[in-house]
Amino acid sequence: RSFQLDYEENCFRKDGVPFRYISGSIHYARVPRPAWRDRLLKMYMSGLSAVQVYVPWNYHEPLPGIYDFAGDRDIEAFLDLTAELGLLVILRPGPYICAEWEMAELPSLPPAYLAAVDSWLHVLLPKIKPRLYQHGGNIISVQVENEYGSYYACDYEYLRHLLGSFRALLGSEVLLFTTDSTRLEELRCGGGEGMGVPAPSCSNLPSITSTGSNVTEAFGAQRWAEPRGPLVNSEYYTGWLDYWGEAHASTRSGLLARGLEEMLQLGANVNMQVVSWYMFHGGTTFGYWSGADFKDQYKPVTTSYDYDAPLSEAGDSTKKLFAIRTVISKVLSLAGGGGQHWALLPVPGNACPEGWAALAWHCPAALSPSLSLQYANLLDVLDVLCPSEPIQSQFPLTFEAIKQAHGFVVYRTQLPRDVLDPATLGAPPHSVCDRGYVMLQQEYQGTLERDGQTTLHVTGKAGDTLDVLLENMGRISFGANTSDFKGLLGNLSLDSSLLSNWLIYPLAIDTVIQQGWPHAALPKSSSRGREGPAFYTGTFETPGIAWDTFVKFPGWSKGQLWINGFNLGRYWPRRGPQQTLFVPGSVLHVGRPNNITVLELEGAP
């Protein structure tokens, strides 16, 4: 068994025979484990011969030296399933992946970087080696770093270090590759030249990312970086990502199909991807894992990673999928390389009609449960959410300084004097990372934001309690600003006088909810209103069977949702464009109550 580059015929050779593949990206971390088989089977039925898979480091190593490969994180089970279904794998283990993932999957609390990388690779790659094609598995190639050419350093010693690690742990026969944009400078810094070894001798192939707008120009850039070998587009964008507060991104099926047909006629291997960077199936960035970009300002990415992909966020086939399938069937003969297996087989049907606006818990019938929710001001349950003593500090500390990777932290101090006339409570520019919900004597005053409002006007008495709930909206995943510290990065001031003597409460909300909170009736709130951070909890019954579905938030502002302890991610209908949260049927209970917990941050209807 072998998978190699042929620089004379400009092709791949699989077991000595010329070979081409058509692959699509799927992120197992964005798909619940019970849905893996469904999504992979639909990709296989769509004509793909391979899948491309990122491995998010921080998903598996949440704390230094603490590894998690269980449940939804069981990458070995995912890879074994791809092999069972007859799909080859192009693996992209980073260590950097981008992917609009929290801090591009780099740990937010790392020790010395290279030492951390080496430790991680020594845990991950031994799991990968037995699954390489040369050893009887289905992994045909492995990426060394990702889009490194776009990083400002252009550090060849770093790339050579990574190459040495991959070779030492995976062997000399595995085909390694890099991926960069079509900019020549990025291909120079990120590809084989940066590793100091000619591509043929290190089996390292540079590949490109592009849209379907100018295929010839894109592959011309790859030929500049590597005059010989197969043409590979590792990220052919089938759509684009969504940012909170901006219009939903989409790409026309016809444009995508024409670009694909042109590429296949050139003889290129194509990896289907979606919006912004890729995707055949984007899925959902559950919990706090959604990242952000920095383009003149901080731009957090939505919870939905639908990416206008051929398979929708819920795993349904779209018109785009059938347009792609038609092109594949035209260009590849049944006797040719990959893609022939599906010719007479239908793609499995959808659970709901395309474009169905989910308003209920049951699909396709619009049957909504009746919910009665208890209310609790977040500050009234602070002792539950932070069972340990708060951290005392003269000035605010970042999330990283207090070892809080994700979620929320409360910063508490007192007004140093009477404020009878409105005084300005302000933060230095870009020091609220990313949103701060301000309460004075438990009454909501307003929200401070990283690139938005940084001042509020308050009145009160000396000794009044000032609380700021800080929300981490996701760390930057692309560019030179990836050291994206969270929390209050500078001190707040009251009419230019710095506030001091802070109590800092790291909140363990997910742990508390997973342990069954609330175990009894919530405490009576001391707050007079329903504005500001508060929990709404209750139960509901799922009728019939547990379908995949969506939750909609008419009249709600912004917050986080849990069902049966599973963190479904951020909602923000007030800003959009995303208006619903995807609920996998595997999260729901049938025949017994489902627990629902909503953390609304600004105000419920």
Looking at residue 239, the DSSP 8-state letter turns out to be S
> Which tokens in the block code for residue 252?
């026309």
Of 260, 360, 330, 282, whose CA–CA distance to 99 is shortest?
A: 282
- Answer left, alpha or beta for residue 208, where phi above 0 means left and psi between -120 and 50 means alpha: beta
> Which tokens in the block code for residue 307?
């990416």
Dist. CA 421–CA 385, nearest whole Å? 34
The sign of the CA dihedral 68, 70, 71, 77 is positive
For residue 576, what are the CA distances in angstroms to 243, 281, 473? 8, 21, 14
Looking at residue 258, the DSSP 8-state letter turns out to be H
Of 550, 49, 568, 551, whose CA–CA distance to 280 is shortest?
A: 49
Residue 262 known to be catalytic: no
> Which amino acid, 188?
R
CB-count burial class (<10 Å; 0-12, 13-18, 19+) for 108:
buried
Tokens 């700021």, residue located: 468
* Residue count of the chain: 605
**Annotated active-site residue in 235, 313, 471, 602:** 235
Dist. CA 328–CA 47, nearest whole Å? 7
In DSSP notation, 577-594 reads: S--EEEE-GGG--SSSPE
Looking at residue 487, the DSSP 8-state letter turns out to be E
> Which tokens in the block code for residue 422?
């409105």
**Annotated active-site residue in 102, 105, 147, 313:** 147
Radius of gyration of the chain (CA): 25
Show the CA angle centred on residue 101, arms to residues 100 and 102, nearest 5°: 125
Residue 147 known to be catalytic: yes
Tell me whether the omega of the peptide bond preceding residue 95 falls within 30 degrees of 0, making it cis.
yes
* Cβ count near 591 (within 10 Å): 7
CB-count burial class (<10 Å; 0-12, 13-18, 19+) for 28:
buried
* Cβ count near 246 (within 10 Å): 13
Contact 332, 340 (CB under 8 A): yes
> Which amino acid, 356?
W
Of 107, 229, 124, whose CA–CA distance to 166 is shortest?
A: 124
Beta bridge partners of 269: 232
**What's phi and psi for 35, nearest 5 deg?**
-100, -5
Q: What residues act catalytically? A: 147, 235
